[in-house]
Structure 1
Amino acid sequence: MSADYLPDATWSAAIDGDLAVTGTEDPASPVLADFFAGYDRAFVLPDEREELEGFRECLAANRGAPLRFGRRHRELVIVLRDAAGGAALGGANFLATDMGARPRQPHVSVALNYLYVDQQVRGRGLARKLVAAVAQLAQRAAGRPEDEMPAIFIEQNDPFRLTADEYAADTAHSGLDQVDRLAIWARLGARAVDFPYVQPALSASQGSDDGLLYAALAYPGDAVPAAFLHDHLQSFFGVSVLKGGDPAAEPVAGAQLAELAELARAGKDVALLDLMAPLARLERGKPLPPARSMLAFAKQA
């Protein structure tokens, strides 16, 4: 990527020879519309979906209030295409947060809110290339060196916490079985965060989403300091979820932040669980074994 990769509100650059990424932080950019068209095909569950106006609010906050909680934030949307142009192959939306200097911790955290690859072009390794682009862009957006790796966090559907209808609807719509999707991310380096995560409601017309698993991608070490996770989620909840609202005042967000603050005061870490072995015990197309969540299943002997 060129050294002036983030010069303006909307930009484009070649990556990996035959691909190009175009990104924006402009709420009125056609790049956002292109991203949303593919996103709309990829995400269907009502409480996990962000609407177009919600994305616009988050991008607009870059200009209005980039500094919150003593940390700088930048929300971006990117679209991946063949270098020759044409339809979008995939896209991502993420929040980059400068976490400051912390001993043995990344300087930047990323809330990778959404990432999709169009069904017609799966199998080309595009998810891995999108993640690499997100990592590099997040470092650049925070003004940090690109040879450092940010801490990337993602939400994933928890197959044990979805209803049968939700499981079937999302699998049919996305073209990916829920267990297969977890396995894809596990191969990319994702490990489950051992914390009872719930996404607060994205808007007044939606409910909170307790059918999710939180995961860290290529995180250094086997655990995340509770203080780091608290600050990351405080930024994510305040910017990407609540669109500038106060996460401490929102019951679902506030309860999780309070729990993490208590763990942080005690100097505790939050473990990361490798899901490859647990996922190998699940048989595609057959009923899931009894367990209240993927975390609980992963801890079973």
Structure 2
Amino acid sequence: MFAKTGFAPDQSWTRSLGQGLILRATEQPDSPVLDRFLEGYDRAFVLPNEREETQGFRACLSINPVARHCFGRTHREMVMVVEDERTGNVVGGANFLATRVNHPPIGHPPTAVALNYLYVEAAERGRGLARLLKDAVGTLANAAVEIPEDACPPAIFIEQNDPLALSDSDYATDSQHSGVDQVDRLEIWARLGARVVDFPYVQPALSAGQSSDEGLTYAVLNFPSAVIDACYFAAHLESFFGISVLKGQDLAIDPVASRQLATLAAMAQRGTPVTLLPMAPAIAALRALPSRPVGESFRHFARTVAGDD
């Protein structure tokens, strides 16, 4: 399934971001960049099924050489941190999978990114660093799959906790630990341009000891149209599930992944695209309610607010 190639040296990814900030990144499992990323990651993410453990990150990065051209596409899984040039302190970090989609449909970026994790250190919030990190991910992702860095921004897909699906205890635990309310977090991404992907997304289990996660909202940034071609979205998910989630295992062994890819194959055969829903109106409508709705997902709520139901 895979063909052996090598790792790029960490130095090849280092960039100045201006404002006294330096980006450092790696695709290697034993890099000190990963260790620095994990320090902030452990402070930012606590819910059991959303967390990738250290060995999981190392497993994802270790298959970079053999996963480079699997599924007939070009990939690179990376971890990055942004440092204050003066102090050397990490102000934020990200982990992502970049996928170069061959022959993308008209209007679809050639690079699709699974932005698995992004965090800004609590002491550094309020400086616009989330946007800076998002943009840096996009530039680095293009370079990672040999697309010119000044090409159109990649489609960046993100998972967010669904504030309507979380239990009261998980809602409180994650909000308290991160210092950001769940709805406020959605609003941050909405301000960055995120839209809800109207697809029944479920994250397959990240490891044998974890469960699949149905409590997520899937969204996309930098996408130029109101719909996504089903084949393009399937290509993105196939790469993401196969590399970031299953770490090179056969997709056929995971029913959660297989079911979603089969759904997209059927949609593609019918010529049915995946619709994108505006996030901001749904957030405003949710804030206007006296309490969280029960038994509904944020995706369905956003669809109702948009008048698509």
Look up the equivalent residue of 1:251 and give its one-letter code: P
User: What do the CA deviations read for 1:231-256 (whole angstroms, capped 9, x no partner)?
Assistant: 10000000000000122331110100
Indicate the SS of the match to 1:69: helix
- Measured on the aligned residues, the alpha-carbon RMSD in Å equals 1.6
1:24 aligns with 26
For residues 295 and 63 of structure 1, what CA distance do their matches in structure 2 show?
A: 36
Letter of the structure 1 residue corresponding to residue 205 of structure 2 = A
**Does 2:239 correspond to 1:238?**
no
Q: Is 1:252 equivalent to 2:256 in the alignment?
A: yes
Shift of 1:14: 1.2
- Alignment of structure 1 residues 66-215 onto 2, 5 Å: 66-104=68-106, 105-147=108-150, 148-215=152-219
Q: Distance in 1 between matches of 2:224 and 2:295?
A: 29
Q: Contact (CA 8 Å) 2:187, 2:280: kept in 1 or not?
A: yes
Q: Percent identity?
A: 54
TM-superposed CA distance for 1:284, in Å, is 8.4
Shift of 1:160: 0.7
In the alignment of these two chains, the number of paired residues is 296
**Partners of 1:135 and 1:179 in 2: CA distance:** 25
Tell me, yes or no, if structure 1 residue 228 matches structure 2 residue 228. no
Separation in structure 2 between the aligned mates of residue 121 and residue 17 of structure 1, nearest angstrom: 13
What's the TM-score, normalizing by structure 1?
Answer: 0.95
Distance in 1, Cα, partners of 2:200 & 2:46: 23
* Residues 248, 257 of structure 1: 8 Å contact kept: no
After TM superposition, the runs of 4+ consecutive aligned structure 1 residues lying more than 4 A away are: none
Cα offset for 1:130? 0.5
* Greater mean deviation of Cα atoms: 128-137 or 142-151: 142-151
- Aligned in 2, Cα 1:284/1:35: closer, same or farther, shift over 3 Å? farther
Conservation of the 8 A alpha-carbon contact between 2:115 and 2:158: yes
Aligned equivalents of 1:300, 1:86: Cα separation in 2: 47
Distance 1:200 1:38, change over 3 A: same
The range that moved more, 65-74 or 124-133, is 65-74
Alignment-derived partner of residue 9 in structure 2: 8
How much has 1:49 moved relative to structure 2? 0.1
User: Is contact 1:179-1:284 (8 Å) kept?
Assistant: no
Deviation at 1:106, TM superposition (A): 1.1
Would you say the 8 A contact 2:67–2:243 is kept in 1?
Answer: no
What is the SS of the residue equivalent to 1:200?
Answer: coil
Letter in 2 for 1:139: N
- 2:92 maps to a residue whose letter is G
* 1:39 to 2:58 alignment: no
Post-superposition Cα deviations, 1:82-125, rounded to whole Å, max 9, x if no partner, equal 12242211100000011012231211100000000011110000
**1:291 to partner: Cα distance:** 5.0
Letter in 1 for 2:250: D
The CA distance in 2 between the partners of 1:7 and 1:19, in whole Å, is 22
- Alignment partner of 1:56 out of 55, 58, 67: 58
Partner Cα distance (1:209, 1:253) in 2: 12
Selected match of 1:272 from 269, 276, 283: 276
Structure 2 residue identity aligned to 1:111 = A
User: Within 2, Cα distance between the matches of 1:209 and 1:290?
Assistant: 18
On the 8 A contact 2:29/2:57 being kept in 1, the answer is yes
| Alpha-carbon distance in 2 for matches of 1:37, 1:138 | 23
Query: Residue in 1 aligned with 2:299?
Result: 295
Residue identity opposite 1:143 in structure 2: E
8 Å Cα contact 2:14/2:24 also seen in 1: yes
Q: Mind listing any 5+ residue stretches in structure 1 that lack a counterpart? A: 1-5
Distance 1:233 1:108, change over 3 A: same
TM-score by length of 2: 0.92
Structure 2 gap ranges (5+): 1-6
